Amino acid sequence: MRRRNPKAAVRPPMTLPLLMALSLLTVVALSACNTVSGAGEDLQAAGSAIEQKSDQKKGY
């Protein structure tokens, strides 16, 4: 029968759920734009949409 080492590092109880949530967030973020160029295209598209809306709201 194995005995537990009383000096072994004990993780806080929220470590595992926090690690799992961080891993899930990373997977979702990487699947949304799986390459650096894809991320650049996403940002460019968002910037273009903002620019178009601001041009519409200028009024001059």
pLDDT digits (tens, 9 = 90+) for 13-40: 778 889 999 999 988 877 765 666 777 8
Residues constituting the chain:
60
Cα 14 from chain centre: 19
∠ Cα 27 33 35 (to 5°):
100
With cut-offs at 50, 70 and 90, classify the pLDDT of residue 11.
Answer: low
Prediction pTM value: 0.40
Q: Which residues contact 42 (CB under 8 A, 6 or more apart)?
A: 32, 33
Instruction: Provide the percentage of residues in the chain whose pLDDT is more than 90.
Output: 23
